[in-house]
Structure 1
Amino acid sequence: MLEHGGGVIAAARRYGIPERDWLDLSTGLNPHGWPVPALPADAWQRLPETNDGLEQAAAAYYGSALLLPVAGSQAAIQTLPLLRAPGTAGLLNLSYAEHAYAWERRGHQVQRFAPSELDAAVNTLDVLLLCNPNNPTGQMFTPEQLEGWRQRLAMRGGWLVVDEAFMDCTPQFSILNKVGAPGLIVLRSVGKFFGLAGIRAGFVFAWRELLDALQEELGPWAVSGPARAAVKLALQDMAWQQQTRARLTADRERLASLLNRYGPTPHGGCALFQWLAGPHTFAAHTFLAERGILTRYFAEPESIRFGLPANEADWQRLETALAAYLL
């Protein structure tokens, strides 16, 4: 399996620092996740049912009822390549690695492109896979760009798959209002903005026939009863959502400013992470890890991603380490 952020146990063993002493900035998750309350007993004791209000809550939050709850975006990422004959799939040179891995495993040819090459490449592809915002660079594509590519792909029976896992703070860039159009598949997650990565729940938005085929592959009870109950409540908590968007926007600016103060200006990012590229990043990643601060390192191109600290003590700990690195 591919490497991901959040490997605190492995880092603790490698660097000899107890797990409890780590500051984990490697995941890009909201460090102030939605507070899950005690759940009704029947959520644990009964098989999950689809008439519990989750689909309605998701339709209200996301603005589309053409959806299917899944066990996190990963379930859809692994299954979508099974739903069409092998062809050519394209994605950015640096993007969430599970997309390319899943399509290659199922016999599709995967091609990688620089952002400036995408427009010309669309005419050669069967499927275009994009994260928006891109993970880990934070690059954003406008809905107009995406819709143009979708139309060109759909004319040849192609798909545009847009992974909007980090979109919640910038809904104006979402392409969810086009869901139902031929060839458009949108993935959403409650792991990032809501900070509920462990719940393993998300949604696929697409035309009905595609959702039915995906559900057939995934089988019954794809999302557990407790997960359905908790996610429904989180999607309905508008006050928490509004406060969280404001907080994450402010924390994004603080993190970008902090990194700029003690090194190069971040090359990209979004509300939940900042991204730096260059040959110095492995040394910075190692220096911080030796002090119990875990970041996400990427080898090609050499780069590093910083998530958000959770509290003032963590902010100060990061600043102290960055200042020491530059001395």
Structure 2
Amino acid sequence: HSLAGNVGEGGIVVLRSFGKFFGLAGVRLGFALTDALTAERLDAQLGPWAVAGPALEYGIRALSDAAWQADMRQRLAQDAGRLDILLGRFDVPVSGGTSLFRYLSFAGAPGLFSALGEQGVLVRHFAERPGVLRIGLPGSEPEWQRLESALAAWAARRKDAPKESGQ
């Protein structure tokens, strides 16, 4: 659901991050949809921003290719489902997310963060919320395999860990 179709009414600004919208996080490109008057005001406040040539090329091609956009949305949804299944196999609870990432919120998150990092799988942790991680979609089959191996190693360590008294 988007307000993009209503920007001509005025008073609405829709901001889009190209990289996140298209699942291309490395492409640093964004845009605003709004009415002409608000666009002029934004332009006056922001001034000229240099955008790298490759980012412009990616942007032009992706924004003009509706079939690619539909394929990307479908692929991201499938990959998000695959990630849910993989995490579920190792009893990692998913607490939310989008088609680009999943939030994990559970007491074992700090240990999982360390275990994944040891295997070269980088996830985002939140210092103010130590029980929460954000994990993005792996980009290639070798990355999926590395994530699965890292999760398996973490799960095996948990099974071998001594239980706390009373458990």
TM-score (ref. length: structure 2): 0.81
- 1:257 is matched with 85
- Whether the 8 Å contact between 1:187 and 1:204 is mirrored in structure 2 is yes
Shift of 1:203: 0.8
Shift of 1:265: 2.6
- 1:204 is matched with 32
The whole-number CA distance in structure 1 between the counterparts of 2:32 and 2:26 is: 18
- Whether the 8 Å contact between 2:8 and 2:35 is mirrored in structure 1 is yes
The whole-number CA distance in structure 2 between the counterparts of 1:318 and 1:224 is: 32
The correspondence for 1:290, drawn from 98, 118, 128, is 118
RMSD: 2.1
Comparing 230-239 with 264-273, greater Cα deviation is found at 230-239
Q: Which amino acid aligns with 2:155?
A: L
Which structure is higher in helix share? 2
- Whether the 8 Å contact between 2:119 and 2:146 is mirrored in structure 1 is no
Residues 176-210 of structure 1, C-alpha deviation per residue, up to 9 Å, x if partnerless?
A: 12223443221112112434444422111223222
5+ residue gaps in structure 1? 1-172
The whole-number CA distance in structure 2 between the counterparts of 1:305 and 1:218 is: 31
Does residue 312 of the first structure (1) align with residue 144 of the second (2)? no
TM-score (ref. length: structure 1): 0.44
5+ residue gaps in structure 2? 157-167
Superposed counterparts of 1:17-166, under 5 Å: none
Matched residue SS, 1:204: strand
- 1:218 is matched with 46
Greater RCO (CA < 8 Å, at least 6 residues apart): 1
- 1:7 is matched with none
Does residue 274 of the first structure (1) align with residue 78 of the second (2)? no
Matched residue SS, 2:22: coil
Q: What is the count of residue pairs matched by the alignment? A: 155
Amino-acid identity (%) = 46
The whole-number CA distance in structure 2 between the counterparts of 1:198 and 1:317 is: 21
The whole-number CA distance in structure 1 between the counterparts of 2:41 and 2:90 is: 50
The whole-number CA distance in structure 2 between the counterparts of 1:177 and 1:206 is: 10
Q: Which amino acid aligns with 1:322?
A: L
